[in-house]
């Protein structure tokens, strides 16, 4: 039974939901009629939109049709208890904060419910000031978590290229500066690749920009597949990509460049209708810090110059800044001699 009467307090239904015009929705689950109705009246008095049911089975029926901001359930109920209800809700894919009500004699059971996913517990007999404290605290915690998720989502959007979903120029600039600062502190190798698709305009002109976009998306995926987890790939702009290689010398970067050229050069690009687009290639410019530059923009410029030197030398190659005459290409596979039949 309920120990205290509802306090005669002024209505403050914005306490847990700010100035929102929509009341927070709470589902009460308790087979004790007195507790269920008293808690229902108390929460409605404070501006919440309340639905109350007398069993876990009915709660699941209601949850299948409606969404709620909070569930308050008795822990000990016939047929399906509070812990089983928590598990059933999670299995249904619903992420709703859950409070359990329990008597002092079953606090250990309440702790078990929190291990199963309950946010907190309320002891019986109910003390309404304590109920309001727990309800508001739980809703505020959920609100803060949702805000954090939204911030992370929009941060990801601001750092990602809208087409390829890899990092954009803005994020690349930030990461490059961080890596340069780290190199200055620890004097470790740092190499930058500028990767440009050869004759991409011809692909766009022949097949259209939709196919061109699909090619860019695929090349971004191929680039990502050929680097280590702590390397960094970004779309620099248009048909140009960039790869930051921390702890990698220019000589080691050549091996990365060869993998990239081979992966893209051997991929058979096709349209959504399975029409062959043909083979594509890339030209790669390589520059390292601090050998070739003293700042981020200068490093980008040096790698870009090396890339354009490779373009002038016939494309589909790699070129290191400062050694532009030494253009590196992939070796064509040597045909295997056919064995004569005996």
pLDDT tops 50 at residue 216: yes
Give me the residue spans of the domains in the chain. Answer: 25-157, 169-320
* pLDDT-wise least confident of 16-30, 36-50, 90-104, 140-154: 16-30
Nearest to 33, CA basis, from 74, 85, 84, 89? 74
**What are the two backbone dihedrals, phi and then psi, of residue 298, each rounded to the nearest 5 degrees?**
-70, -40
Q: In what order do the strands lie in the sheet with 120-124?
A: 49-53, 25-29, 70-74, 98-103, 120-124
What does the alpha-carbon distance between residue 236 and residue 308 come to, in Å, rounded to a whole number? 15
pLDDT in tens, 221-252: 999 999 999 999 999 999 999 999 999 999 99
How many CB atoms neighbour CB 198 within 10 A?
Answer: 19
Q: What is the pLDDT of residue 331?
A: 72
Residue 64 near residue 40 (C-beta atoms within 8 A): no
Residue with tokens 């822990």: 75
pLDDT tops 80 at residue 10: no
Nearest to 88, CA basis, from 115, 59, 112, 108? 59
Architecture of the domain delimited by 169-320: 2-Layer Sandwich (3.30)
> Topology of 25-157 in CATH?
Rossmann fold (3.40.50)
pLDDT tops 60 at residue 138: yes
Q: What is the pLDDT of residue 5?
A: 43
What does the alpha-carbon distance between residue 75 and residue 32 come to, in Å, rounded to a whole number? 11
Q: What is the pLDDT of residue 24?
A: 92
Residue with tokens 């009467």: 5
Residues 284-289 have a mean pLDDT of 97
* pLDDT-wise least confident of 2-11, 79-88, 259-268, 288-297: 2-11
Query: Mean pLDDT, the chain, as a whole number?
Result: 86
Quick one: DSSP state of residue 163? T
pLDDT tops 50 at residue 14: no
pLDDT in tens, 318-331: 999 998 888 888 87
Q: What percent of the chain has pLDDT over 90?
A: 63
What does the alpha-carbon distance between residue 187 and residue 330 come to, in Å, rounded to a whole number? 31
What does the alpha-carbon distance between residue 11 and residue 47 come to, in Å, rounded to a whole number? 7
pLDDT in tens, 36-52: 999 999 999 999 999 99
Cα-Cα end-to-end distance for the chain = 97
What does the alpha-carbon distance between residue 172 and residue 249 come to, in Å, rounded to a whole number? 20
Q: What is the pLDDT of residue 107?
A: 65
Residue 277's pLDDT band (cuts 50, 70, 90) = confident
Q: What is the pLDDT of residue 106?
A: 62
pLDDT in tens, 101-125: 887 656 677 677 778 788 888 888 8
Q: What is the pLDDT of residue 71?
A: 95
Nearest to 55, CA basis, from 33, 70, 38? 33
Quick one: DSSP state of residue 160? B
Cα distances from 125 to residues 34, 56, 102, in angstroms, run 11, 21, 9
Q: What is the pLDDT of residue 12?
A: 45
pLDDT tops 90 at residue 168: yes
Q: What is the pLDDT of residue 13?
A: 45
Element (H, E) at 288: strand 282-289
């Amino acid at each position: 039974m309920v120990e205290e009467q509802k306090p005669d307090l002024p209505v403050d239904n914005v306490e847990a939901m700010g100035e929102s015009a929509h009341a927070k929705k709470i589902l009460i689950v308790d087979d004790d009629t007195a507790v269920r109705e008293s808690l229902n009246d108390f929460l409605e008095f404070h501006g919440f939109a309340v639905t109350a049911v007398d069993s876990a089975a009915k709660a699941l029926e209601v949850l299948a049709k409606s969404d709620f901001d909070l569930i308050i359930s008795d822990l000990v109920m016939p047929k399906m208890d509070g812990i089983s209800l928590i598990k059933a809700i999670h299995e249904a894919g619903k992420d709703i904060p859950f409070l359990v009500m329990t008597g002092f004699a079953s606090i250990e059971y309440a702790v078990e419910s929190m291990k199963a996913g309950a946010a907190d517990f309320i002891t019986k007999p109910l003390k309404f000031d304590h109920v309001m404290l727990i309800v508001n605290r739980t809703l505020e915690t959920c609100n803060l978590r949702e805000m954090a998720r939204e911030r992370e989502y929009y941060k990801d959007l601001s750092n990602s290229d809208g087409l390829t979903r890899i990092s954009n120029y803005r994020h690349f600039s930030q990461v490059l500066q961080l890596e340069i600062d780290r190199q200055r502190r620890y004097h470790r190798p740092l190499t930058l690749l500028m990767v440009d698709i050869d004759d991409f305009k011809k692909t766009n002109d022949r097949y259209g920009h939709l196919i061109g976009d699909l090619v860019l998306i695929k090349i971004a995926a191929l680039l990502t597949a050929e680097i280590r987890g702590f390397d960094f790939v970004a779309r620099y702009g248009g048909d140009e990509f960039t790869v930051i290689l921390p702890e990698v010398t220019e000589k080691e970067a050549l091996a990365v460049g060869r993998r990239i050229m081979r992966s893209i050069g051997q991929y058979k690009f096709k349209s959504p209708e399975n029409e062959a687009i043909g083979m594509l290639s890339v030209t790669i410019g390589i520059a390292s810090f601090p050998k070739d530059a003293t700042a981020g923009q200068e490093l980008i410029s040096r790698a870009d110059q090396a890339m354009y030197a490779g373009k002038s030398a016939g494309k589909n190659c790699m070129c290191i800044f400062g050694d532009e005459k030494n253009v590196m290409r992939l070796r064509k596979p040597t045909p295997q001699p056919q064995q004569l039949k005996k």
